[in-house]
Amino acid sequence: MLKKFFTIVIIPRRTSGVKKIHFASIVFGIGAILIVGLIAAWVYMIQDYIKIRNQLVNYESVQQRYQDQLKKLEEFNDRYEDLDIHFENLNGLSYKLRQMTRIRSDRNTESNPENTRRLQQKIEIARTSGILSAIAADSSEIDSELKYEQEIRFDNLVHFFNETPNPYTRIPSVMPVKGYLVNVFGTNSDPFTGEVSPQDGIDIMTRSFLPIIAPADGIAISLETDETYGNLLIVDHGNGFVTRYGHLAKFEVSQGDIVRKGSMIAQAGNTGHTTRPRLHYEVLLHGIPQNPMKYVIE
């Protein structure tokens, strides 16, 4: 069999001579196997390419569905946050209505002549029984306690301002509370009328009773009740910086207390002229309002 040959005859278009090529049968067999192998490999590569292409299309489809589901999840989370905020607002409005009702009832009670007459009778009884003398003694003790507290506050002031300050800890460089920025520095949208007006600070929407931390070392110089900002805390940081915190639910410091950066100074609330829990935050440098965001680095 090895002596058998295969002959390929080549006939040119112009008859000049026929060419013959002889191949041994083994060579022809090997060539045929190689050609079949190449064709099979080419077919396999085509099929693999088509398979990979289909998988890529399926992957893109799955990825698109994942993105759609993720988007829906984010929308659901936003709706949940909005509902939670609405519940907070309703609770705040309910509290304010109860407070207003109580104040009005107190005023009506005070303006009642019968209550006034009863109060005068009680004062007369107290005068004759010597109770007023005891109250006066208690008042003198309270006055001495207040003087003692004032001395402590004065000592705190002297100690704080005599410290060798670390400039980094005396600059309000952190956000005092976690939440969403709803009013930026320079403008404010009135929550009742929607009217835009100038603003010396920023408003951060947050949850009721969330801790408010000191953004820098300082000393609490004032705890006030303001018509617009409700419970208002003012902290002096001793280097020209003063910070103000409004709409508070509760103070966690007293006047004259030294506060350290990161320590809890109050709780967020819904007091003053607002419809939802938030913190009004101001930064003043030498009495001039500053944008608090430009100092935040943490």
Q: Can you tell me the distance from the alpha carbon of 19 to that of 21, in angstroms, rounded to the nearest whole number?
A: 7
pLDDT in tens, 203-255: 999 999 999 999 999 999 999 999 989 999 999 988 889 999 999 999 999 98
Q: Which pLDDT band holds residue 269 (cuts at 50, 70, 90)?
A: very high
Homologous superfamily (CATH) of 180-295 is Glucose Permease (Domain IIA) (2.70.70.10)
8 A C-beta contact, residue 278 and residue 247: yes
Q: What DSSP line would sit under 229-295, residue for residue?
A: TEEEEEEE-SSSEEEEEEEEEEESS-TT-EE-TT-EEEEEB--SS-SS-EEEEEEEETTEEE-GGGG
pLDDT at 119 over 70: no
**Nearest-angstrom CA–CA distance, 216 and 194:** 33
What percentage of the chain exceeds 90 in pLDDT?
Answer: 29
Residue with tokens 């019968």: 114
- Supply the pLDDT for residue 101: 45
pLDDT of 133 strictly over 60: no
Concatenated DSSP letters of 92-121 = HHHHHHHHHHHHHHHHHHHT-HHHHHHHHH
Quick one: CA torsion of 175, 177, 183, 188, rounded to 10 degrees?
-100
> Which tens digit of pLDDT belongs to each residue from 234-243?
999 888 899 9
Comparing 190 with 72, the larger pLDDT belongs to 72
**pLDDT for residue 99 is more than 60:** no
> What is the Cα gyration radius of the chain?
42
Contacts of 25 by beta carbon, 8 Å cutoff, 6+ apart? 1, 2, 4, 5, 6
pLDDT of residue 175: 94
Nearest by Cα to 201 from 298, 294, 268? 294
Average pLDDT, the chain: 77
Determine the average pLDDT of the residues in 256-279.
Answer: 92
Once rounded to an integer, what is the mean pLDDT over residues 125-152?
54
Average pLDDT over residues 130-158: 56
User: So where are the chain's domains?
Assistant: 5-67, 113-162, 180-295
What is the average pLDDT across 121-126?
60
The answer to whether residue 267 scores a pLDDT higher than 50 is yes
pTM of the model: 0.49
Looking at residue 270, its pLDDT comes to 93
Determine the pLDDT at residue 93. Answer: 57
Judge whether residue 114 has pLDDT over 80.
no
Whole-number pLDDT of residue 104? 43
- Phi then psi dihedrals of residue 66, to 5 deg: -65, -45
Q: What average pLDDT does the segment 69-81 reach?
A: 74
User: Looking at residue 49, what is its pLDDT?
Assistant: 84
Rounded Cα–Cα distance for residues 240 and 224 (Å): 21
Longest dimension (CA), the chain: 154
Contacts of 71 (CB under 8 A, 6+ apart): none
- The contacts of residue 58 (CB under 8 Å, 6+ apart) are none
Question: Which of residues 45 and 102 earns the better pLDDT score?
Answer: 45
136: pLDDT confidence band, cut at 50, 70 and 90?
A: low
